[in-house]
Copies of this chain bind each other. A is one copy, B any other.
Amino acid sequence: MSMFDNISVVKKANVYFDGKCVSHTVQFPDGTRKSVGVILPSTLTFNTGAPEIMEGVAGSCRVRLAGETEWKTYHAGESFDVPANSSFDIEVMGDPYHYVCHFG
């Protein structure tokens, strides 16, 4: 599905790492929040508060979760889980990586 329907969107974007990552927050009727975003070519480290599921929408990325040595590649349609109060390294090369971030 290429769209989320019947939601609210926060007009102001979330800008991280000088714009290497930009997302917009969307809110569902049940109060659940997700973000739709894009990561430009770069290698970044994100910290999590709540657990996250990162779902690829377009492009691909390589990810290394905290405490792991192996990088894994994820394409559009694939997801990876990040535990609460953790972090992950993400590398995007070539085309931007578009994602949906599910919290909770």
Contacts and interface: CB of A to CB of B under 8 A. Distances in A.
A69 B99 CA distance: 40
Contact of A57 (B11, B15, B40): B11
Assign chain A's interface to a size class. 20 to 34
Interface stretch (A16-24, A60-68, A78-86): A16-24
Contacts of A9: 3-4, 7, 9, 24, 26, 36
Contact of A8 (B6, B20, B40): B6
Contact of A3 (B10, B20, B58, B98): B10
A27 interface: yes
A30 to B, nearest CB: 14
B19 A40 contact: yes
B12 A98 contact: yes
Contacts of A24: 9, 24, 36
Which of A7, A9, A20, A40 has the largest count of B CB atoms less than 10 A from its CB? A9
Interface of A: 1-13, 15, 18-20, 22, 24, 26-27, 36-38, 40, 57-58, 96, 98, 100
